[in-house]
Amino acid sequence: MRTPEYSDDQLAAGVAAAAAALGEPLTAAAYDAWQRDQDAASPALLIRRFGSWNEACARAGVATNKTRSTSRRWSDEDVVAIVAAYLGSPGATGSFADYSEWAKAQDDAPSGATLRQRFPWAEVKKRAAAGT
């Protein structure tokens, strides 16, 4: 069985048709369930073609759920300053696991997972210790 080829306009039209049928904001999961009974491309193809689900929806003029990217909530300088504050806190061991526990108790500190999206632990500790 040969996979059908779609133009960018056809792909966008499929996303728009799904939004008309399902409402907005349109999620990839809702589109995926809808497209199985239609002559429409898979979400994977849309993402490969347009780079992301949000971009596929943007091309179709369809709203998506907007979630705030936690990876850019803090600047690099903010992250380094927060790690410096952790390192200077009473009882800090300097381990990644200890930082992760400390961050949970703070009002505005990135989680360990978020921090790792930005820097290797050894690098951010080195920057924090150097004050850069």
The ranges assigned to domains in the chain are 8-60, 70-131
Which pLDDT value is given to residue 81? 92
50-57: long-range contacts, CB 8 A cutoff, minimum separation 24: 50/8, 50/11, 53/28, 56/11, 56/12, 56/15, 57/15, 57/19, 57/26
Which residue has 């800090």 as its token pair? Answer: 92
Positive or negative torsion for Cα 127, 128, 131, 132: positive
State which residues of the chain have pLDDT below 50.
68, 70-71
Which pLDDT value is given to residue 35? 92
Helix (DSSP H) and strand (DSSP E) numbers for the chain = 8, 0
Which residue has 């898979």 as its token pair? Answer: 42
Give the separation between CA 89 and CA 21, rounded to whole angstroms: 54
Which pLDDT value is given to residue 15? 93
Give the separation between CA 80 and CA 89, rounded to whole angstroms: 14
Which pLDDT value is given to residue 16? 94
Which pLDDT value is given to residue 95? 95
